[in-house]
Amino acid sequence: MFQVKICGVTSVEDAVMIASSGADAIGLNFIPGSPRCLDLERATEISQNIPPHIVRIGVFVGRPSSEMLMVAKKIGLNAIQLHGLFDGPPEKSDPPWRCDELKPFPVIRAVRLDEPSVDTDRLATARQWIDAAAACGCLPAMALLDASVSCGVKAGQFGGTGNIIDWNSVAEVPILPIPTTLAGGLTPDNVTAAIQTTQASAVDTASGVESAPGRKDSDLVRRFVNAAKQGFSGKPYA
């Protein structure tokens, strides 16, 4: 689907810059309370001003499937990323049958892992969720590994925290049965090593290429894309 995704895009200017940087995908955030959250009008404007080959991914938490489908069709999304809890109150969770309800849009399932070490229990729960989705008739297209935050001002935040998960732990634990995207604290300075350590299929960053929340820095974006491509090419990390 993609190798390099820049998430939390909030302006047409940033989206056009990202498209020209060599990135494969952008993430459009629809999570209330996030500094990167978009309304339908702004998201549509962004989508309409980037080339068709750029993968457009909508990021949601606990929204009804009918609402996500409406947004996806209106904006022209290519995939839907579910960032909610595996189990919890409806407004904060995304059950496995969502994958079937969201057809024909591919689903990317976020897995929020405790840092610094990888929570094997959480991964086991993720596998159960993926298996349940498959049993409902639709296997997620990808899993996205991100860092969860349990304390401080970012506690409970769904993505964009800048926190890093332990890449060595990711490399050591059993692999999920679908392609894996690595997120969580990735920057131009560490993404090559992250790819080579974890052997992830793709990478995703938001705060790692920002000058302020929701504002992308063109130099950081281009450096990130180049470093990620170096990682995927198998070149040694310097």
b/e per residue, 131-155, with b = 16+ CB within 10 A?
A: eebbeeebbbbbbbbbbbbeeeeee
- Active-site residue among 7, 14, 119, 138? 7
- Active-site residue among 94, 119, 146, 204? 146
Per-residue tokens: 108: 């990317």
E strand or H helix that includes residue 79: strand 79-82
166 is an active site residue: no
146 is an active site residue: yes
Q: Residue 2: which of 231, 223, 209, 202 has the closest Cα?
A: 202
Q: Residue 75: which of 24, 23, 38, 36 has the closest Cα?
A: 38
List 113's β-bridge partners, or say none. 147
Interaxial angle between packed helices 12-21 and 218-233, expressed in degrees from 0 to 180 and rounded to the nearest 10: 30
- Phi, psi values for residue 23, rounded to 5°: -65, 150
Annotated active-site positions, please?
7, 146
